Structure 1
Amino acid sequence: MTSRVTLISPATSRSLREARFDDGSLLDAQGAARAQAAAGTLPTAERVLVSPTVRCRETASALGLAALDSPELTGLAMGRWRGRTLDDVSKEEPDAVSRWLSDPAAAPHGGESVRSLCERVTAWLDAIAEVEGRTVAVAEPEVIRAMAVTALEAPHSAFWRLDVPPLTATCLSGRSGRWNLRLGQALDTR
């Protein structure tokens, strides 16, 4: 049985434009418009899932998807850094940021480590591989990065080497524990 998973990254929000750790902000007008323009362009799927974050839910809605919440697709828990910009945190806690970016097991913010995120995502991907048919999911960019690391069997340190642009599709297909990966396909906005 071949499993197919299409992961959609959320459209732009104020947090994304400001390089701010997700603070629950809404999509910005441009992001919402781009998502609405791409409505109806995704493949038909047996399962449509969404991260329970605001920007993912709004992206799914703008795309016209009736998606079910999937808590496993929630982004990296950022602890006390949530809502702050990377620049601000880097100025106040440079050693902590350096450790966080270089050690996948580090969680100096009191939240979740990259390694923990990769393990959570791997468990979700293993479970979805057992279900027949296509899955479309709107997920946080760091979740998509973690899935790419998993699919490629890359070290967790590769997480920071992957960029996931807004409103793009990353596709995984595979069977028997082997995944093929297609990254960053722009959604058709006609």
Structure 2
Amino acid sequence: MKATRLTLMCHGRTVAQKLACFPTDESLEMDWQSAKGSLSRSFKESPRLLCGPEARTRQTAELFGSDIQVVEALRDCDFGRWKGVRIGDLQKNHPEALAAWLEDPLAAPHGGESVRQLGERVAAWLKTLEATSGHVVAITHPFVVRAALTQVLQGAAFNLIDVEPLSAVELRYFGRWRLRLTALDAEGAF
């Protein structure tokens, strides 16, 4: 049986991201309609294209092709009452709730989905891919990508990390270390 290759890709930039707001079902910031199919030759072979149900993931997927399967498991985390709220406003007005949510994977002070629940949903979806083969490209959200990486890297992570030649991993420190997965910009630079 041929191996499964999963490429997790974050959707394109939205205004909510620029404003540091919890997302709603916003569209991409770019003129995605005129760019439809522009990235269809990004992969050597035609992959199976999957995406979450939100506008921003569907629009990003259409950059890669038109044969797209919407997968409910790839939907963004449910942020409940925090949808559309600026993170800075939460820090100012509800710092305890934000801190609890950031520190406790079981916490859901927003009334939506906890990080643990998101991880369980993504783990169940990853399990369904174990019976498939070929290249799957999943256009989804930062929280879903984080949940998938957490599932893969749990436990003895050292031997589960492949580092390809000329690959890059960026770590940033702002009070704690964070892993940043970078993308090439329009000029082809990191």
TM-score (norm 1): 0.77
CA distance in 2, matches of 1:104, 1:149: 12
Where does residue 148 of structure 1 map in the other structure?
149
Give the superposition deviation at 1:35.
8.1
Higher helix fraction (1 or 2): 1
CA distance in 1, matches of 2:36, 2:83: 25
Could you tell me which runs of 5 or more consecutive residues in structure 2 were left unpaired when the two chains were aligned. Answer: 157-176
TM-score (norm 2): 0.77
Instruction: Report the AA paired with residue 132 of structure 2.
Output: V
- Which deviates further from its counterpart, 44-53 or 100-109? 44-53
CA distance in 2, matches of 1:189, 1:63: 19
The SS at the match of 1:7 is strand
Where does residue 180 of structure 2 map in the other structure?
163
Where does residue 129 of structure 1 map in the other structure?
130
The SS at the match of 1:147 is helix
User: C-alpha deviations, 1:90-124, integer Å up to 9, x for none?
Assistant: 21211000000001111000000111111110110
Where does residue 16 of structure 1 map in the other structure?
17
The structure that has the greater radius of gyration is: 2
The SS at the match of 2:58 is helix
The SS at the match of 1:98 is helix
User: C-alpha deviations, 1:138-157, integer Å up to 9, x for none?
Assistant: 111110111111111159xx
CA distance in 2, matches of 1:19, 1:154: 32
What count of residue pairs does the alignment treat as equivalent?
A: 167
Verify the 8 A CA contact 1:21 1:85 in the aligned structure 2: yes
Where does residue 164 of structure 2 map in the other structure?
none
User: Per chain length, whose mean CA-contact separation is higher, i.e. which structure has more relative contact order (CA < 8 Å, sep 6+)?
Assistant: 1
The SS at the match of 2:100 is helix
Where does residue 88 of structure 1 map in the other structure?
89
Give the superposition deviation at 1:7.
1.1
Give the superposition deviation at 1:61.
1.2
Instruction: Trace 1:9-158 onto structure 2 (pairs within 5 A).
Output: 9-29=10-30, 38-45=39-46, 47-153=48-154
Q: Displaced runs of 4+ in structure 1, greater than 3 A?
A: 30-39, 160-165, 186-190
Could you tell me which runs of 5 or more consecutive residues in structure 1 were left unpaired when the two chains were aligned. Answer: 169-185
CA distance in 2, matches of 1:77, 1:20: 14
CA distance in 1, matches of 2:34, 2:178: 29
What is the root-mean-square deviation in Å for CA atoms of aligned residues?
A: 2.7
